[in-house]
Amino acid sequence: MMISRPFCRKLTLAVAGLALGFQLPQTKLSGQSLIHELEIAPVDRERFSVPVTVDIQLPMGGMRRQRDRWMARVFCAEGNDRPAQVVVTEGDDGRWTGALHWVEPRIPAGEAVRLEAFLQPGPRRTISGAPRFQFTEGEGYRDMRHGDRGVMRFVTIWDPENHEDTHKPYQHLFSVDGSSLLTKGPGGRFPHHKGVFLGWNRTMVDGNRWDFWHARAEYQVHREFLEEDEVTGPEVARATAVTEWVTPEGKAVVRDTRRVTAWRVSERENIFDYDILIESLAGEIELGGDAHHAGFQIRAAGEVTERSGETIYLMPETAEAKGNDLHANLNWKALSMPRGERTHLLVHMDHPENPRPTVYSGRDYGRFGAFFVTRLDEDKPLRLRYRIVVQDEGEEGLEMNPGIWASRQADFAEGVKVSVRSRMPY
């Protein structure tokens, strides 16, 4: 079973126009409606639920005013539409650029996929009917929501009087229906495990060893969200948080910037793309340790500890067991976990540009992730990329076919090539 949007239902152009919220014109509309012809290059294997981003041309006039107000749909040759979102950003040179985001439900092997994207600017009220991503503030946390559903919670609180519970920021993952948190917070078994988290237990700085995994005396502290990098809309959201790693003496030795892009794939699946920049603030630094106590990892909800017999790990066929719940020669790992009366799937994907070799660990109580050893210098920051997929169980169960996840990891690693031919105005 594959979760995806329907592929190319037969629709007339007139019906497609109504789906956009406006009628596609027979003559140009004052230079405001835009059309882009897109072609996804052939791929070597059939792919499903593929997040696609492509740069597009937009008119320069009124760009700032219209930054969040573009309506967009993507149509295949038969007329079926995919919801899409335009993100407009300002570069360092002051120029504004546009990027079109959508999830392509299926790309057949060996065939080019031809699409058309229709865009039109309009006031926010004309597109407010569909659920949108938004951010809401809480005490010590910030929620990413899609309509009235929780998607991700950024836990940012730091309280030196409550070190154990607040010694590092992390992200909670909600079930796709927003009804429950799938990740662990403070307390419980191994209280230093919290949500989606990052750290190395042997961080060597100037001959000193600091433990930013257990963080018994050290800590990581949230400094700020980068508002200029924030994105909201119906299909995609993005948040970027800056964190410093601080020694017991109060010296910040490392800074990481975690950009998270969330994709709404379906009613049963969310995707989270992490793009992390780790910078040294104190000369040469070694990020070391072992695969059970370092790296980029996920800790499932505390309930899983009492129901560990119901957890199932999936891995690619290439995975090599190394003993002690460690595996090498793999680039993804998935956990099927219970939560209440339902089962959910968490998939952790590694990008090939991350340092090598990578070892995955995974305990039956629901802590798993990727580990490597590397060095930092002040003029050589480290970039890391990961993808996390969340699925809710439905009538057809979860996607438990390792071959599907191997293919979807390849989507993340390779992306797709899209050519664009723009015609403005329509």
Q: Are 301 and 366 in contact (CB under 8 A)?
A: yes
**Among 368, 367, 364, CA closest to 332:** 368
Provide the Cα torsion 408, 409, 411, 412; round to 10°.
Answer: 130
Cβ contact 421:36 at 8 Å? yes
CATH 2.70.98 intervals, the chain: 133-394
User: Cα–Cα distance between 169 and 105 in angstroms, integer?
Assistant: 34
Distant-in-sequence, close-in-space partners of 131: CB < 8 Å, separation ≥ 6: 146, 147, 148, 149, 234
Kindly report the CA angle at 193 between 190 and 197, in degrees rounded to 5? 165
Beta-sheet strands, E only, within 174-232 = 196-200, 202-205, 208-210, 219-225
pLDDT on residue 120: 81
pTM: 0.90
What pLDDT, on a 0 to 100 scale, did the predictor assign at position 29?
32
Q: Which two tokens stand for residue 150?
A: 């929780």
User: Rounded to an integer, what distance in angstroms lies between the CA atom of residue 164 and that of residue 422?
Assistant: 54
Sheet holding 320-323, edge to edge: 133-138, 141-146, 149-155, 170-173, 196-200, 294-299, 367-371, 359-362, 326-328, 320-323
Taking Cα atoms as reference points, which of 52, 36, 18 lies closest to residue 115? 36
CATH code reported for the domain at 133-394? 2.70.98
Pinpoint the alpha helices (H) of 101-211.
163-166
**Residues with Cβ within 8 Å of residue 106, at least 6 apart in sequence:** 4, 7, 46, 47, 48
Q: Are 308 and 337 in contact (CB under 8 A)?
A: no
Give pLDDT, residue 373: 98
**How far is Cα 278 from Cα 281, in angstroms, rounded to an integer?**
10
CA 230 to chain centre: 14
Tens of pLDDT along 77-100? 777 889 999 998 776 776 777 899
What is the distance between the alpha carbons of residues 248 and 67, in angstroms, rounded to a whole number? 44
Q: List 190's β-bridge partners, or say none.
A: none
Are residues 345 and 2 in contact, defined by beta-carbon separation less than 8 angstroms? Answer: no
Residues with Cβ < 8 Å from 176, sequence gap 6 or more?
149, 266, 267, 268, 269, 270, 390, 391, 392
Distance CA 183, CA 211 (A): 22
8-state DSSP, 394: B
Residues of the chain scoring pLDDT < 70: 1-33, 59-69, 91, 94, 122-129, 423-426
Pairing of strands 342-350, 382-392: antiparallel
pLDDT at 291: 98
CB 158 within 8 A of CB 262: no
Exposure class string for 14-35: b at 16+ Cβ within 10 A, else e: eebbeebeeebeeeeeeebbbb
Residue 44: CB partners within 8 Å, gap ≥ 6? Answer: 109, 110
Give the span between the Cα atoms of 7 and 46, in whole angstroms.
Answer: 13
**Euclidean distance between CA atoms 84 and 232, whole angstroms:** 12
**Which of 409, 416, 411, 415 lies closest to 370, judged by CA?**
409
Q: Is the dihedral of CA 303, 341, 311, 3 positive or negative?
A: negative
Q: How far apart are CA 137 and CA 40, in angstroms?
A: 39
d(CA 25, CA 43): 34
Q: How many residues does the chain have?
A: 426
